[in-house]
Amino acid sequence: MKKYEAMIVLDTKGKQESAEQLASTIEKEFTKAGAKVEQIDHLGLKKFPTAPRHVESGWFVNYFFQAEPAVIDVLRNKLKLNENIYQQYYQVA
């Protein structure tokens, strides 16, 4: 197992759930995929310099976790379908 860091940008505009609730739901997806989440950092709401796809800001959340390399592809494909996620980035920690 390797250590990874995931930066997830949430689109919370018009959503009833809070950013913390959305982040908790995403943590469950990490666990279902076989990752062991070690730490979650809520970096808060940040405005984008431009408004791509008519989104002006996003809630940034960092996930630090351990997983097999194949889990990254599973997570990327699964979370791509989640309408609350604006962007997702993964890197080896």
Selection from 13-17, 31-35, 44-48, 51-55 with the highest mean pLDDT: 31-35
Contact indicator for 67, 33 with CB cutoff of 8 Å? yes
pLDDT at 85: 94
pLDDT digits (tens, 9 = 90+) for 36-77: 999 999 999 999 888 777 788 999 999 999 999 999 999 999
Complete domains list, the chain, with CATH: 2-92 (3.30.70.60)
pLDDT for the residue numbered 30: 97
Percent of the chain with pLDDT strictly greater than 90: 76
User: Average pLDDT, stretch 79-90?
Assistant: 94
